[in-house]
DNA sequence: ATGAAAGCGCTAACAA
DNA sequence: TTGTTAGCGCTTTCAT
């Protein structure tokens, strides 16, 4: 396997990329001056600067990022590590993160937590990163340990157990969950309200279930264990749960609060096959307010989670820390709110 | 803003990362030997090698990727540039690409084509990449020019206009489209078959429409212009189209071939609100065979596009070229096939 | 306002 | 088998 030269970019002499020295020679200045034109334009006389810029253009010069990184110890690349990059949830989060990164002049390197099936070794190229935003949704995820051990600036996404020594941005499930539960209680007796959650270990799933229970109890109802169930964050699980509820006749007249939109969608599809329609025959509210809600008919009521902001805020905090390593760690809380549509009320 | 030292990794002397020299001193060898145990273990005596590895472990040494990149001109990072990273289509493609990259010991840097709304400047950090996989879906996309001008190894995704001088992997819409159209023709007269495509400029949309028409003509039918329409690759467009077809009474008894699954989903939702069910009242087939198909009830018939393979193959070709720059450019064709489910037949 | 020179941490001839 | 040394292309004192 041939090594050097693997030249990218146009070359003056065949086989070698344009270097700062080439530009310097071409403009009859020292490489220092070229460097200054790029990094501290104020220190160079306008005339010289223009001449150098002309040479840069003419030669198609692009600074070598490795050499630069070697000196500055910066890459202007930040990483974002998520449990998964699939689905509306993460896509939306990524959009926010990417937009914010661009806005601040950084590049975003996306990676997912999932282990490679095979024997491959490459994980995140930590060495290239200035900082890392990490999302941890379950205690078993090792990303968190790995990341902090790295000795690199880190920002946590949706991590409640943060001890305040590190930047983080978390979803406050409370308000939205409470709002939704109260909304259901307005049309359905507390004893007929159920929560169909996602993975039991998931932090958000737990908090949502907890607030659901609290709200029911706040309404003077003693919650039965059977009123909350856990499974997965999938439509399949929602469908499976619904099949059971349909079979024992408990779905009709009940109010279903799903752990996320996919679960709600699964419930709705299964119920629909059994001839049951939301709002008419039962109440249904999802969670996350993903695109799925407005895609499906009737449109799904859901608790809005500001996913875009979640991603954007994480990057924002990270960039802030990069620019000012001594800044006080910040924990940013993102509110959730109920969005009423056609499956409830 | 403080510059150096922005040290990542543990430090022997406060404020400086562990360097190869530190390891060398600690193990009482030269830096060359350390370099060799990392890159060519065969050239070092087992005893020394073990001692060096011990030092590396003890000091927590991680090679500086910038210094290494400066010498090797490689980063083992490849980029993938897509029109969008949102939705089932791209997610699935990315999964394939990521898995393959990991398998080959490369990192994947994901970026989307979409311009930043704001004034931010950062695009792809080309300088860090060994190569780039680019997906071009419309002639207006400038990514292609940009990429090839870069003088960096490139692999094209789903680009038909390739001139054979560059690696590419393309979806062969033909077989699946033909199969689906024939399937529709088995239950519906050709005059009642319609194609509801996505963006008119999109290469795939065009090819799918073309093969649809050809197949109808092959069946001895003269296709009317009104039998193909274009809009967007969204459920909204599908719903909009369906509303029209419902209003003028043309949906019942017809066969709808949608340009992608989202469009099909939109048609189905709109029809369902009007009391029309697929298979019973009309035929419906989507395209791409995304997760949406099995999420919705009844489950959507669709043309399967091997998205995972698409991503994986692109990375595979790119890696091959990286290892062997002289390899003959390859164009890999990916077959599409009909998947019959509950909305057709 | 400009330049000379010293590295940044690493790899790879070339010696020994 | 191991070490010496010369860069890779850039930024940054320190002179001028």
pLDDT digits (tens, 9 = 90+) for A240-266: 999 999 999 999 999 999 999 999 999
Mean pLDDT (10-residue bins), chain B, 345 residues: 41 71 96 96 95 96 96 94 84 91 91 54 81 82 64 86 81 97 97 97 94 96 96 97 97 98 97 96 97 94 97 97 92 96 96
Token readout for B131 is 């190569």
- Chain A residues in contact with B86 by the CB 8 A cut-off are 91-92, 95
Alpha-helix residue ranges (DSSP H) falling in chain A:
20-27, 31-39, 46-59, 65-72, 87-103, 143-149, 173-185, 203-218, 235-247, 261-273, 292-295, 307-323
The count of residues in chain A is 345
How far A228 CA lies from chain B's nearest CA (Å)?
A: 23
CA distance A79 to A111: 7
A39 touches strand D (CB under 7 A): yes
State residue B182's pLDDT score.
Answer: 98
A41 touches strand D (CB under 7 A): no
Kind plus residue range of the DSSP H or E element containing B313: helix B307-323
Q: Whole-number Å distance, CA B108 to C1' D13?
A: 38
Cβ neighbors of B215 (< 8 A, separation 6 or more) are: B177, B178, B181, B182, B185
State residue A158's pLDDT score.
Answer: 84
- Chain B residues in contact with A126 by the CB 8 A cut-off are 8, 62
Angle between helix A87-103 and helix B87-103 axes, rounded to 10 deg: 80
Query: Within 13 Å, how many C-alpha atoms sit on residue B67's CB side?
Result: 7
The count of residues in chain B is 345
- Chain B residues in contact with A297 by the CB 8 A cut-off are 269-270, 272-273
Per-residue pLDDT tens over the stretch A124-143: 889 999 999 999 877 655 65
Q: Which nucleotides of D are covered by protein (CB under 7 A)?
A: 1-5, 7-13
pLDDT at A22 over 70: yes
State residue B337's pLDDT score.
Answer: 98
Got the DSSP string for A182-201?
HHHHTTS-GGGEEEE-S-TT
- Chain A residues in contact with B130 by the CB 8 A cut-off are 6
Determine whether the interchain pair A102/B122 forms a contact, defined as Cβ–Cβ distance below 8 Å.
Answer: yes
State residue A4's pLDDT score.
Answer: 39
Cβ neighbors of A118 (< 8 A, separation 6 or more) are: B99, B102, B103
pLDDT-above-70 percentage for chain A: 89
Angle between helix A307-323 and helix A87-103 axes, rounded to 10 deg: 40
Q: Which of A77, A98, A116 sits opposite B125 (nearest CB)?
A: A77
A 10 A CB-CB count for A324 gives 11
Look up the pTM and report it: 0.87
pLDDT-above-90 percentage for chain A: 77
- Residue whose C-alpha is closest to residue A263's, from A226, A300, A280, A238: A238
Identify the closest residue of chain A to B146 by CA–CA distance: A9
State residue A9's pLDDT score.
Answer: 46
Per-residue pLDDT tens over the stretch A151-183: 799 999 987 766 778 899 999 999 999 999 999
What is the phi/psi pair of residue B212, to 5°?
A: -60, -50
* Distances, alpha carbon A282 to alpha carbons A171, A196, A230, A242, in Å: 28, 14, 20, 11
Split at pLDDT 50, 70, 90, the class of A148 is low
- Residue whose C-alpha is closest to residue B270's, from B230, B252, B296, B243: B243
CA distance A170 to A161: 10
**Residue that has been written with the tokens 């200054």 in this structure:** A36
Determine whether the interchain pair B106/A122 forms a contact, defined as Cβ–Cβ distance below 8 Å.
Answer: yes
pLDDT at A212 over 70: yes
CA distance B241 to B226: 12
Whether B308 contacts B109, CB under 8 Å: no
CA distance A274 to A282: 13
Determine whether the interchain pair B6/A73 forms a contact, defined as Cβ–Cβ distance below 8 Å.
Answer: yes
Determine whether the interchain pair A324/B297 forms a contact, defined as Cβ–Cβ distance below 8 Å.
Answer: no
């Amino acid at each position: 396997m041939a090594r050097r030269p693997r030249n990218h970019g146009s070359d003056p002499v065949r086989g070698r990329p344009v270097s700062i020295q080439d530009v310097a020679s071409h403009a009859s200045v020292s490489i220092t001056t070229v460097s200054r034109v790029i990094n501290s334009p104020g220190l160079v006389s306008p005339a010289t600067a223009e001449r150098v810029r002309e040479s840069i253009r003419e030669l198609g010069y692009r600074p070598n990022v490795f050499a630069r990184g070697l000196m500055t110890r910066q890459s202007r690349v930040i990483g974002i590590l998520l449990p998964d990059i699939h689905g509306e949830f993460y896509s939306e989060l990524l959009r926010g993160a990417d937009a914010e990164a661009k806005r601040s002049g950084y590049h975003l390197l996306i990676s997912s937590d999932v282990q490679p099936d095979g024997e491959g070794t490459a994980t995140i190229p930590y060495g290239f990163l200035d900082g890392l935003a990490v999302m941890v949704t379950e205690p078993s995820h090792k990303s968190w340990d790995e990341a902090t051990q790295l000795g690199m600036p880190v920002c946590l996404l949706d991590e409640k157990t943060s001890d305040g020594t590190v930047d983080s941005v978390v979803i406050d499930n409370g308000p939205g969950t409470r709002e939704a539960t109260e909304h259901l209680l307005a049309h359905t007796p507390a004893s007929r309200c159920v929560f169909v959650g996602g993975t039991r270990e998931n932090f958000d799933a737990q908090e949502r279930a907890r607030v659901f229970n609290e709200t029911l109890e706040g309404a003077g109802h003693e919650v039965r264990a059977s009123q909350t169930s856990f499974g997965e964050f999938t439509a399949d699980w929602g469908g499976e749960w619904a099949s059971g509820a349909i079979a024992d006749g408990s779905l009709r007249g009940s109010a279903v609060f799903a752990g996320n939109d996919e679960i709600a969608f699964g419930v709705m599809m299964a119920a629909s096959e059994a001839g049951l329609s939301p709002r008419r025959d039962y109440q249904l509210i999802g969670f996350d307010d993903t695109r799925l809600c407005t895609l499906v008919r009737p449109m799904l009521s859901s608790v809005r989670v500001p996913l875009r902001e979640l991603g954007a805020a994480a990057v924002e905090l990270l960039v802030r820390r990069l620019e000012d390593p001594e800044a006080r760690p910040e924990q940013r809380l993102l509110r959730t709110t109920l969005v009423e549509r056609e499956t409830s009320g």
